[in-house]
Amino acid sequence: MEKKKLIRLAIQAMERSYSPYSGFRVGAALLGKSGQIYQGCNIENAAYTPTNCAERTAFFKAVSEGEREFEAICIAGGKDGVLTGFTAPCGVCRQVMMEFCDPETFQIILARSESDWREYRLKELLPEGFGPGNLA
Ligand code: THU
């Protein structure tokens, strides 16, 4: 996996964020097992609750294109698009990851730049997660 490329694509996706209400711009780049990369940005709404996070935008794009297995996601975000801190996925997005990813291996990369990033496995960010296996 080319981490720098994934980071670059997440930061690029952030530029397309539609976030007039919070001003918090987020971009994501999701690597499928096919090798295809899906970009996503947060898309806000005047009614607030229909807002979609960057991560879920990327996942829903990918799944709707037929990809269901994933290796890694990179997330970059900040107020007015300034990458001051590391933007971690919200609880709802972690749960969507749990649906399609192996918590032991799926990598979540939080990036401030191509050389400044942190990396986690899904099981670290969603311990004891509830997933499809529980219903099997
Ligand atoms: N947001 C994301 O897109 N991803 C995250 O990981 C955290 C939050 C968005 C949702 C909303 O548009 C804005 O950031 C502020 O919460």
Q: Which tens digit of pLDDT belongs to each residue from 33-85?
A: 999 999 999 999 999 999 999 999 999 999 999 999 999 999 999 999 999 99
Pairing assessment for the beta strands 24-32 and 70-79 based on DSSP bridges: antiparallel
pTM score of the predicted model: 0.97
Distance 56 CA to ligand 1 centre (A): 10
Distance 31 CA to ligand 1 centre (A): 20
Please list every protein residue whose CB sits less than 6 Å from any atom of ligand 1.
19, 22, 24, 26, 42, 44, 51, 53-55, 75, 87, 89-90, 93
Which one of the listed residues 55, 67, 71, 119 is annotated catalytic? 55
Pairing assessment for the beta strands 70-79 and 37-41 based on DSSP bridges: unpaired
The pLDDT value recorded for residue 1 is 74
* CB contact at 8 A, 41 and 26: yes
